[in-house]
Structure 1
Amino acid sequence: MTLAPEHRAIYLTGPTASGKSAVGVHLARLLDAEILALDSMTLYRGMDVGTAKPTREEQGGVPHHLIDVLDPWESASVAQYRGWALEMIQAVESRGRRVLFVGGTALYLKAMLRGLFDGPGAVPEVRGRLEAEAESLGDAVMHARLATLDPATAARLHPNDRRRIVRALEVIETTGSPFSTLQCEHDRAAPASVRVFALTPPRPWLYDRINRRVLGMFDAGLIDEVQRLQAGPRPMGSVAAQGVGYKEVIAHLAGGADLRQTIDLIQTRTRQFAKRQGTWFRGLSEVSPISIEPVESAEVVAQRLAAEIVGD
C-alpha cells in the first residue's frame, strides 16, 4: 500500500520543555531529514522568546519550515496549517529528503495523522431557516434541540455558540445522522506503519525544566518582546495574545499581577498545559511513548529513535 505523504513523515512530539527541538535536530541529521514545525505559536514572527522558538544556532544547520509565517495580528485555522504542511512535504521530498515534524500542538498532530472533517457541504436554504429560528427563538432553545438530537455534540458546544449549533442541526437535517456520529466514522487512526514518537520524561524533572525555562524567558527579555509586539503596526491578534506567557505578561504590563506573581502564574499554567498535552497524546493510538531519562543527552535519545526507525 502506498502511504499518503503525511503518513510517510516521521513525527516527534511531547510536552513543552521535554527537549523535542534538540532531539529533533539530532534526529534530522541522522535521517537526512528537514524539520516541519508542529507548533501553533512558532508560526508567528517576532514571538521568539515566549515560544522557545529554536534560534538559528539551535537549528544546527538543519532546515526548519513552518516557522515565522504569520504576523502576530493574523490567525490560521488547523485546515490552513495542514494545507501548508502538505505543500511543504512535497517540496522536501522532491529534494530527496525525509520529513520530520517536531512540535507539541496536539490538534495539528491529529489533523496531519487523521485528516479533518468538515461535514457535508452547506445547504443554504436549510441553514438560512435555522439561523432565522435561532434569531427568533434564541440560542438556548436551539442548543436544547441539539441536545435532544445529538447529545455528544451539544455537550461540547457552548449554548451561545450559535454558528456551530446551527451547523450541527443543519448536518442532522440534511444527512439524517448526528454530527458526532459522522465525526467518529471519519476519525480513523493512521496506518500502523506511521512513526509517531512522544518524548515522555519523568514529571518532576519536566516540571523543574518548565520552571527554569520560564525564568530563562524573563532573563532573555520576554517583557521587552511583549512590549515590542504591542507597539507594532497592529495589535496582537486574539490567538497570539492568548498564548501562555504572553497573556500573563500583557496583563502584568496593564497593571495586573506583579512580576513575581506573573512568573509564578506562567510556571503554573505551563505545567498544567504540559499535563494536558500528555493526556492528548495518550488519546492518540498512533503515538508511541518514548521514556527519556534526565541523564540522557538529546543526541543519545535521537540515536535510539533513529535505530528504531531504520530498523523497521
Structure 2
Amino acid sequence: MTNTLIVIVGPTAIGKTSLSIQLANHLKCEIVSADSRQFYKEMCIGTAVPSLNELQQAKHHFIQHKSVEELYSVGDFEKDALDTLNTLFEKNEFVILVGGSGLYVDAVTKGLDSFPEIYEDVRKTLKKQYDTEGIESLQQQLKTLDPLYFERVDIHNTHRVMRALEVCISSGKPYSSFITKTPKKRPFNVIKIGITAERSIIYDRINERVDIMVKEGLLDEVKQLYSYKSLNALNTVGYKEIFNFIEGTWDLDFAISEIKKNTRRFAKRQLTWFRKDLEIEWFDYLYNLESVLSYIKKSL
C-alpha cells in the first residue's frame, strides 16, 4: 500500500489545525476533520472552527457539514469518512486526518466495536435518572460499573456517559470490555502524530482561546442557539455554561470561568485517551516542521 493517512491529534488549543495545514500544503493533499464539535454549521465560535483564511489554505472535509437538528453518530462518521478517503486517495497518496475527538479518530483508523442490544426500559430509566438527579449521578454510576472507561471518556458528555451505562446495565459487563483489541484492516497506511506541551502551557492556551471566543461573540452565538439547548450537539463545553448564564443561574464571569475549567478537564481526558495509543509519535507544540516531515519520511 502506498496510500497513507497522516493523523494529527492532541489536546484542544494545542495547534493541530496549523500543523495539518502546513502538512497538507507540503504534501499537496486535503484534510479530513475528526473533531465532532466542528461538524455543526450553527456552532462556529464555541467550537474553534478553522478560520476562513485557514479553510482557504487547504481543502477541508467534515467542517460544519451538518445541522444541530440532524442526528449524526460516530458510526455515520466512520462510513462517510471512509467513503471520502477512498475518493481522496484516488487523487493523492496522502490525506491528513486531524482532530481531538479520540473516538472519531479511532473509528476511522481502527473501526468501531460491536456492542450488545440495549433494552428500551434501561434507556428510559437512565433518561429519568438524568432528568431528576443530573449528570453527576450518572457519572458516579459509570465510575462504579466501569472505572476503566470512566478514566477515558469525557464525563461531561451526557450522551457518551449514558451510552456506556446502557451497555453496562443491559449486558451486565463493563462497556470497556466490548472495545476491540484488534483493529480492523484498512486499505491505507496510518502515521500518527501528536502535539503536546507541559500542562501549564496547555491550560494557558485554553484560557487565552476562551477569552478570544468571548471577544469574537460567543455570547451572541449561544443566545441564537438557546432554543436548541436540549439537543445533544449543544450539550458541550462552551455552550451549556452560557445557557446557565442566559437562564440566570450564573453570572457571566462565572460562566466564562467554568468554560475554562471544563475545557481544561476535557484536555486532560483527551491526553489520557491518546497516551494509551503507543502508535502516536509525540512532538512539542513548538515543533520544527522539518522534524515532523522527517518522521513521516522515516515511517514510510
- TM-score band, normalised by shorter chain: 0.7 to 0.9
SS in structure 1 opposite 2:30?
strand
Distance 1:29 1:164, change over 3 A: same
Counterpart of 2:220 (choices 224, 228, 239) is 224
Kindly indicate whether residue 73 of structure 2 is the aligned counterpart of residue 77 of structure 1. Answer: yes
Q: Which residue of 2 aligns with 1:48?
A: 44
Counterpart of 1:242 (choices 232, 235, 243) is 235
Tell me the distance in 1 between the aligned counterparts of 2:230 and 2:65.
15
Checking the alignment, whether the CA contact within 8 Å between 1:114 and 1:190 is kept in structure 2 is: yes
Q: CA deviation at 1:47?
A: 0.7
Aligned residue type for 2:46:
G
Q: Which residue of 1 aligns with 2:100?
A: 104
Tell me the distance in 1 between the aligned counterparts of 2:284 and 2:111.
28
Q: Pairwise mapping of residues 184-195 of structure 1 onto structure 2 (< 5 A)?
A: 186-189=180-183, 194-195=190-191
Q: Which residue of 2 aligns with 1:255?
A: 248
Q: CA deviation at 1:113?
A: 2.2
Report the structure number with the largest CA radius of gyration: 1
Aligned residue type for 1:30:
H
Q: Which runs of 5+ in 2 are unaligned?
A: 127-142, 151-160
Distance 1:307 1:60, change over 3 A: farther
Tell me the distance in 2 between the aligned counterparts of 1:51 and 1:161.
24
Q: Which runs of 5+ in 1 are unaligned?
A: 140-151, 173-177
Q: Which residue of 2 aligns with 1:34?
A: 30
Q: Which residue of 2 aligns with 1:305?
A: 292
Distance 1:257 1:40, change over 3 A: same
Distance 1:168 1:24, change over 3 A: same
Tell me the distance in 2 between the aligned counterparts of 1:37 and 1:163.
28
SS in structure 2 opposite 1:41?
helix
Q: Which residue of 2 aligns with 1:289?
A: 282
Q: State the identity %.
A: 32
Aligned residue type for 2:192:
V
Tell me the distance in 2 between the aligned counterparts of 1:38 and 1:102.
6
Tell me the distance in 2 between the aligned counterparts of 1:261 and 1:285.
38
Alignment coverage as a number of residue pairs: 268
Deviation per residue, 1:98-122 (Å, 9 max, x gap): 21011100111122222111147x6
Aligned residue type for 2:236:
G
Q: Which residue of 2 aligns with 1:208?
A: 204
Distance 1:194 1:162, change over 3 A: closer
Tell me the distance in 2 between the aligned counterparts of 1:211 and 1:17.
9
SS in structure 2 opposite 1:188?
coil
Using structure 2 for the length normalisation, give the TM-score: 0.78
Distance 1:187 1:227, change over 3 A: same
Q: What CA RMSD, in Å, does the superposition of the two structures yield over aligned residues?
A: 3.3
Distance 1:166 1:255, change over 3 A: closer
